[in-house]
C-alpha cells in the first residue's frame, strides 16, 4: 500500500481449525448495551477477523491479473453474498503505470438497502506486486502477502459484515472492498505519480454502483492489524471530514483505546479516501497506521516480503473493530 507523507494471537489456524472457529463465530454473537443510547452493540470477534486474514493469505499474493487474485476475489464475493442483503460486483479495466491493463473487481455489500441514511466502510483487497521497500534488493520486484497492508482491513470488515447480518443497525451500511489500490508506481522509477495508486476507488468514484449513490460519511481502514499500531488524525481526513474524525476518536477514547487512537495529527496520505472525498464528495476518513520511527512513516514491514501473518496482532484488530462497530451501532 503506497501512501505519501506530505508532512513529515497470535496463532496460525489450520484449515480444519479455521473452519471450526469460523462456524462458531458465524452462529453466535454477544450483545452489549450502551448505557447512553440503549443501542444493542454486538461483540466484535477479533479471532474471527484473524481467520479471515489467514484465509486471504492462503490464496497467495492478490495481485491483479493473477490466478491467486481471481480465486481470492471469488471467495470474497461469496462471503459478501453470505452476509449482505444485496451485493454488487463491479468489474472494470484500468491502465496501470507500467502500461498493463488490469482486470479489477470492486466488491460491494449493501446492508438495509431500503434505508436512505447510509454510511460507507471500505478497504482494499489487493496486495502489492513489488516488495520495493524490502531490505533485500533482490526482492524489490517480488509480490508480497500483504497481511497488514490490505488483508487486515478486509478481515475486520468481513467480521463487521457478519455482525451486520445478525444484528441490524439503525442505519444503512455499505461495505466496499476496492481493487488495485496497491499497484502504484515502483519506488525505483525516476518519477512520481500519485494517481497511479488507488485505481479501484478512482474507478468506483467516477462510476458508482448506483448512479445516485451517496452516504453521510465514510470510514476507510488501512493497515489496522500490526502489533503496537498507532492511528493519528490523518491530514485529508481532517481537511474533508473533521467531525467524523472527532466522532471516531471520541468513541475510541470512551472505549479505552486512546493508546492506539492518538490525540495527535498525522500526515496527509493519498489513499482510497482521497478520491472518495474529491471525486464523489462523500466526507471520508482514513484509520491508518502511521509510525514516525520508520523512514517511510508506516509499520516496519510495509511493502516488504515480511508483511506476513506474523505481523498481525489480535489485540489491534479488536481495538479497531470494536471502535468501528460502536460508531455504527450508535448511529
Question: Cα(181)–Cα(196) distance, rounded to whole angstroms?
Answer: 9
- Give SS3 for 6: coil
Residue-range definition of the domain harbouring residue 306: 15-329
Q: Does 4 reside within a domain?
A: no
Asked if residue 251 lies in contact with residue 330, where contact means CB atoms within 8 angstroms, the answer is yes
Give the strand pairing for 118-124 and 217-222: parallel
pLDDT for 259-289, tens place per residue? 999 999 999 999 999 999 999 999 999 999 9
pLDDT for 194-217, tens place per residue? 999 999 999 999 999 999 999 999
Q: Does 7 reside within a domain?
A: no
Q: Does 294 reside within a domain?
A: yes
Q: Does 10 reside within a domain?
A: no
Q: What is the DSSP letter of 62?
A: -
Q: Does 33 reside within a domain?
A: yes
Q: Does 244 reside within a domain?
A: yes
Q: Does 75 reside within a domain?
A: yes
Tell me, what CATH number does 64's domain have? 3.40.630.10
When divided into structural domains, the chain yields a total of 1
Q: Does 159 reside within a domain?
A: yes
- Assess whether pLDDT exceeds 80 at residue 171: yes
Of the given ranges (6-15, 28-37, 70-79, 242-251), which has the lowest mean pLDDT? 6-15
Q: What is the DSSP letter of 78?
A: H
Amino acid at each position: 500500500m503506497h501512501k505519501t507523507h506530505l508532512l513529515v494471537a497470535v496463532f496460525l489456524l489450520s484449515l480444519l481449525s479455521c473452519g471450526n472457529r469460523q462456524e462458531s463465530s458465524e452462529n453466535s454473537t454477544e450483545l452489549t448495551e450502551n448505557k447512553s443510547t440503549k443501542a444493542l452493540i454486538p461483540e466484535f470477534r477479533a479471532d474471527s477477523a484473524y481467520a479471515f486474514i489467514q484465509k486471504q493469505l492462503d490464496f497467495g499474493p492478490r495481485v491483479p491479473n493473477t490466478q491467486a487474485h481471481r480465486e481470492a476475489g471469488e471467495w470474497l464475493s461469496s462471503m459478501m453474498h453470505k452476509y449482505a442483503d444485496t451485493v454488487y460486483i463491479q468489474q472494470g479495466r484500468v491502465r496501470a503505470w507500467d502500461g498493463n491493463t488490469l482486470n479489477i473487481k470492486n466488491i460491494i455489500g449493501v446492508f438495509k438497502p431500503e434505508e436512505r441514511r447510509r454510511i460507507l466502510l471500505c478497504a482494499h483487497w489487493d496486495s502489492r506486486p513489488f516488495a520495493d521497500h524490502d531490505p533485500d534488493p533482490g526482492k524489490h520486484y517480488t509480490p508480497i502477502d500483504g497481511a497488514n497492508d490490505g488483508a487486515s482491513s478486509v478481515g475486520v470488515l468481513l467480521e463487521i459484515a457478519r455482525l451486520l447480518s445478525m444484528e441490524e443497525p439503525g442505519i444503512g451500511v455499505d461495505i466496499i472492498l476496492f481493487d488495485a489500490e496497491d499497484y502504484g508506481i515502483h519506488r525505483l522509477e525516476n518519477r512520481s505519480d500519485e494517481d497511479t495508486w488507488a485505481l479501484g476507488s478512482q474507478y468506483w468514484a467516477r462510476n458508482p454502483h448506483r448512479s445516485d449513490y451517496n452516504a453521510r460519511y465514510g470510514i476507510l481502514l488501512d493497515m489496522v492489524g500490526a502489533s503496537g499500531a498507532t492511528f493519528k488524525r490523518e491530514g485529508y481526513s481532517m481537511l474533508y471530514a473533521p467531525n467524523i474524525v472527532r466522532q471516531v476518536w471520541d468513541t475510541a477514547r470512551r472505549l479505552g483505546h486512546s493508546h492506539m487512537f492518538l490525540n495527535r495529527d498525522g500526515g496527509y496520505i493519498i489513499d482510497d479516501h482521497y478520491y472518495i472525498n474529491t471525486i464523489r464528495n462523500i466526507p471520508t476518513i482514513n484509520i491508518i497506521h502511521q509510525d514516525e520511527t520508520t523512514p517511510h512513516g508506516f509499520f516496519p514491514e510495509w511493502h516488504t516480503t515480511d508483511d506476513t501473518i506474523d505481523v498481525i496482532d489480535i489485540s489491534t484488530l479488536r481495538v479497531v473493530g470494536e471502535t468501528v462497530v460502536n460508531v455504527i451501532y450508535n448511529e
